[in-house]
Amino acid sequence: MAKVKPSTLSLFLLILSSISGGNMIMANGQKTWCVAKPSSDQATLLGNINFACSQVDCQILRRGCPCYAPDNLINHASVAMNLYYQAKGRNHWNCDFRNSALIVLSDPSYANCIYA
């Protein structure tokens, strides 16, 4: 079996994204989610939360709500960024956040915190 270079796979996904109008639901119906890059600094994560929550309802992050815990910036940023990404149509450009986000194929939901 031929080995696929990462750059070839990236190019394929970019072409697939272009053909599908930028909507990142894969051809096989695979859903995607937007999460914060673990390497993002705290100021960036806070800025992402503030921006996303100014555009979409982030009440799910309030104390006592399903996605409040764990109470840390990476978790809250990931939830807020994904809410924004989902609300805006799951286009790759809605999950950039100044290069501090990742589109993932694995559902990041946990416990009662369900990523839409």
Q: pLDDT at position 30, please?
A: 83
**Which has the higher per-residue pLDDT, 17 or 34?**
34
Q: Which domains does the chain have, with CATH numbers?
A: 31-116 (1.20.58.1040)
**Residue type at position 68:** Y
Res. 11: pLDDT tops 70: no
Q: Which of 94, 97, 96 is nearest to 23 (CA)?
A: 94
Side-chain-side CA neighbours of 51 within 13 Å: the count stands at 17
Mean pLDDT of 23-32: 62
Give 3-state DSSP helix, strand, coil % of the chain, rounded to 5: 45, 10, 45
pTM attached to this predicted model: 0.76
**Which has the higher per-residue pLDDT, 28 or 99?**
99
Mean pLDDT of 23-31: 58
Q: Is-contact 84 34, C-beta < 8 A?
A: yes
Q: Which residues does residue 101 pair with via DSSP β-bridges, in sequence order?
A: 36
pLDDT band at 39 (very low <50, low <70, confident <90, very high): very high
Res. 21: pLDDT tops 90: no
